[in-house]
């Protein structure tokens, strides 16, 4: 499913992708050598960046997407219009399951999520109109996902 009810203006899309690439440069990935950058667009047009931060105790690792959300939410930002994710892989890579659940917590199900290949600029230069970006949304990535509204469902006694 594509994010048909939401859209990101071209200038915001470009800003968001650029910010994700910038965030990736700050990744701390000494164990996996798998750098990830994420950029989250707020409804006010602000971009919050995140990079993956690994830890020798692997459970202490936090993904780039969750880093961006933690930064945003801890600063009172809870309304978002887009997310871009980039790695060093020359194809679009999707967020992990835990990140999908965090996205589901804070974003509209049709909010655009841009999965950006590492060779985005090269693809643009080669004439690929969208630079190889895969646009999706959390409804497609996490169908039938559990969300905050599910906590309000009536319980059988």
Binding-site residue set:
52-58, 63, 96, 99
3-state secondary structure of 116: strand
In the annotation, is 65 catalytic?
Answer: yes
Catalytic one among 25, 46, 65, 135?
65
Which two tokens mark 130?
A: 């969208």
Which residues define the annotated binding site for Zn(2+)? 63, 96, 99
Which residues define the annotated binding site for substrate? 52-58
Active site residues: 65
């Amino acid at each position: 499913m594509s994010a048909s009810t939401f859209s990101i203006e071209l200038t915001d899309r470009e800003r968001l992708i650029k910010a994700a690439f910038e965030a990736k440069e700050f990744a701390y990935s000494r164990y996996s050598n798998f750098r990830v950058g994420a950029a989250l667009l707020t409804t006010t047009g602000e971009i919050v960046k995140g990079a993956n931060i690994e830890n020798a105790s692997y459970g202490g690792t936090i993904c780039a997407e969750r880093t961006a959300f933690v930064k945003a939410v801890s600063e009172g930002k809870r309304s978002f219009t887009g997310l871009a994710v980039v790695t060093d892989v020359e194809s679009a890579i999707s967020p992990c399951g835990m990140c999908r659940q965090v996205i589901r917590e804070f974003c509209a199900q049709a909010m655009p999520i841009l999965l950006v290949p590492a060779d985005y600029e090269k693809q643009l230069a080669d004439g690929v109109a969208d630079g190889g970006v895969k646009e999706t949304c959390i409804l497609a990535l996490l169908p039938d996902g559990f969300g905050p509204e599910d906590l309000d469902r009536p319980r059988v006694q």
